């Protein structure tokens, strides 16, 4: 059997209550330094560690928080989790990660176990907006901080990236390269980030007096390379002219690559492509993707700090909303705008000869 507090107490020759006080940071001061030392030595000797369940039962705190993500294989989540874990574990909390696999049933089931486990708080990265959202279910379990995505409800604590700044930087970059007609493959409408980036796209175009043709916007209904490919395909099929396309995220941008390849178009000569989020691997694809780098580790860490703040002052009505800065990473998928219109028969011939790496020979 694992050593109990009683064992430590006996070895130190004190009462269990005294041992408890010695082991606990904030009650330690009431004890004589000598006994504290004796107890600590005894605990070390037995390599005692408190039974977290007994401790939790007595204090009515689990020292556990739940972290809800939709799909762990989306590369932005691991660094978010790392940030959360670093901050939380230092504060004595354990993060219980729940992967909902984007399945409603699964999410509800896991939420029930989180409730059963008396989690002290929740960090949620799966918030949706709109009528189907059901974002109230989270605060019903424990104090909640939203990260990456927000339910857009008043009073919700959230940590997001600065989509406005990011998208403005993208448009500025493309504008400087001479692009005037810039398309956007937008994300699903029930994700707050899609809306934010789309709005910023419109604002940025407006500020530069660039055309804001609705035909320049394709909206996908889920996040996959296939969806991105279909999005760009629909833009091309519409006959709209454009020399650059901004995808809601890197995965959609990879889909744009595929559509261009399938249609004999070259990136970046024919169309410049910009991603978003700096998903893992955006430096490995060809051409290396120009994208907006988001510091997901910091977002996780900030969300954790915000939750700690709420846990320490539950009655503090202030609910902040933090936006973490982003930065543009320019790689090889963007270049100066071609002057002619597209489709143009000369496009491929004008382009410099293929160098380096040959792709998918027919």
State which residue, 37 or 351, has the beta carbon closest to DNA.
37
Residues 6+ apart with CB under 8 A from 361: none
Interacting residue with DNA among 11, 23, 125, 233 (CB under 7 A): 23
Report the residue number, 50 or 178, with the smaller CB distance to DNA: 50
The CA angle 26-298-133, to the nearest 5 degrees, is 95
Residues between 90 and 119 that touch a second copy (CB under 8 A) = 94, 96-97, 99, 101, 109-110, 112-113, 115-118
Residues 6+ apart with CB under 8 A from 332: 268, 287, 288, 289, 290
Of 49-57, 201-209, 215-223, 340-348: span binding DNA (CB under 7 A): 49-57
Give me the residue label for tokens 């410099």: 352
18 binds DNA (CB under 7 A): yes
Cβ-based neighbours of 317, under 8 Å, separated by 6 or more: none
Q: Could you tell me the two tokens for 225?
A: 């390379």
Tell whether residue 13 is a contact of a second copy (CB under 8 A). Answer: no
Total residues contacting DNA (rule CB under 7 A)? 28
d(CA 213, CA 240): 9
Question: Strand 272-274 relative to strand 244-247: parallel, antiparallel, unpaired?
Answer: parallel
Q: Which stretch binds DNA (CB under 7 A): 11-19, 167-175, 278-286, 343-351?
A: 11-19
- 117 binding partner (options a second copy, DNA, none; Cβ < 5 to 8 Å by kind): a second copy
Q: Are 121 and 311 in contact (CB under 8 A)?
A: yes
Give the binding range for a second copy (CB under 8 A) out of 29-37, 50-58, 207-215, 311-319: 50-58
Among 40, 46, 55, 225, binds DNA (CB under 7 A): 55
Rule CB under 8 A: choose which of 3, 56, 139, 309 binds a second copy: 56
234: nearest Cα among 249, 252, 216, 261: 216
d(C-alpha 209, C-alpha 192), whole Å: 26
Tell me how far apart the terminal alpha carbons of the chain are, to the nearest angstrom. Answer: 68
By CB under 8 A, residue 10 contacts a second copy: no
> Phi, psi (5° rounding) for residue 168?
-60, -40
Q: How many residues does the chain have?
A: 362
The footprint of a second copy on residues 124-143 (CB under 8 A) is none
Beta-bridge partners for 146:
124, 158
Of the candidates 151, 166, 287, 300, which one interacts with a second copy according to CB under 8 A? 287
Q: Which does 81 bind (CB under 5 to 8 A by kind): a second copy, DNA, none?
A: a second copy
Q: Is 16 in the site for DNA (CB under 7 A)?
A: yes
Answer with the entry of a second copy, DNA, none that 178 interacts with (C-beta below 5 to 8 A by kind): none
Q: Is 242 in the site for a second copy (CB under 8 A)?
A: no
Of 8 and 271, which CB lies nearer to DNA in the complex structure? Answer: 8
Smallest distance from the beta carbon of 73 to DNA, in angstroms?
Answer: 35
Q: Half-sphere exposure of 299 toward its Cβ, with a 13 Å CA cutoff?
A: 28
Residue 160: partners with Cβ closer than 8 Å, 6 or more residues away:
147, 148, 149, 150, 192, 193, 196, 299, 321, 322, 323, 324
258 touches a second copy by CB under 8 A: yes
Residues that bind DNA (CB under 7 A): 1, 4-6, 14-18, 20-21, 23-24, 27, 30-32, 34-35, 48, 50-51, 54-55, 57-60
Residues in contact with a second copy by the rule CB under 8 A:
2, 49-54, 56-57, 62, 71-73, 75, 77-79, 81-82, 85, 89, 94, 96-97, 99, 101, 109-110, 112-113, 115-118, 225, 254, 257-258, 260-262, 264-267, 269, 280-281, 284-288, 332, 351-362
């Amino acid at each position: 059997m694992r050593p109990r507090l009683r064992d430590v107490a006996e070895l130190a020759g004190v009462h269990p209550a005294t041992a408890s006080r010695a082991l606990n940071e904030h009650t330690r001061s009431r004890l004589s330094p000598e006994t504290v030392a004796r107890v600590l030595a005894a605990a070390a000797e037995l390599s005692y560690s408190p039974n977290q369940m007994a401790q939790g039962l007595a204090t009515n705190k689990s020292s556990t928080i739940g972290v809800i993500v939709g799909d762990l294989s989306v590369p932005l989540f691991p660094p978010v989790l790392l940030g959360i874990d670093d901050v939380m574990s230092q504060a004595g909390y354990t993060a219980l990660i729940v992967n909902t696999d984007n399945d409603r049933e699964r999410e509800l089931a896991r939420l029930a176990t989180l409730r059963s486990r008396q989690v002290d708080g929740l960090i949620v990265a799966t918030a949706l907006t709109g009528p189907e959202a059901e974002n109230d279910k989270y605060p019903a379990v424990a104090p909640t901080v939203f990260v990456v995505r927000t339910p857009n409800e008043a009073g919700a604590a959230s940590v997001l990236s600065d989509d406005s700044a990011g998208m403005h930087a993208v448009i500025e970059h493309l504008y400087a390269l001479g692009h005037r007609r810039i398309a956007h493959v937008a994300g699903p409408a029930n994700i707050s980030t899609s809306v934010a980036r789309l709005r910023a796209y419109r604002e940025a175009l407006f500020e530069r007096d660039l055309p804001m043709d609705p035909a320049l916007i394709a909206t996908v209904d889920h996040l996959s390379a296939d969806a991105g490919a279909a999005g760009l395909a629909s833009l091309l099929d519409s006959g709209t002219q454009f020399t650059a396309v901004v995808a809601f995220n890197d995965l959609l941008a990879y889909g744009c690559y595929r559509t261009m390849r399938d249609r004999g178009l070259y990136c970046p000569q024919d169309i410049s492509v910009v991603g978003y989020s700096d998903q893992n691997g955006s430096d490995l694809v060809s051409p290396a993707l120009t994208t907006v780098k988001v510091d997901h580790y910091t977002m996780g860490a900030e969300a954790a700090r915000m939750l700690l703040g709420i846990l320490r002052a539950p009655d503090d009505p202030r609910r902040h909303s933090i936006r973490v800065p982003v930065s543009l990473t320019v790689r090889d998928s963007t270049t100066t705008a071609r002057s002619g219109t597209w489709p143009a028969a000369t496009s491929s011939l004008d382009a410099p000869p293929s160098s380096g790496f040959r792709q998918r020979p027919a």
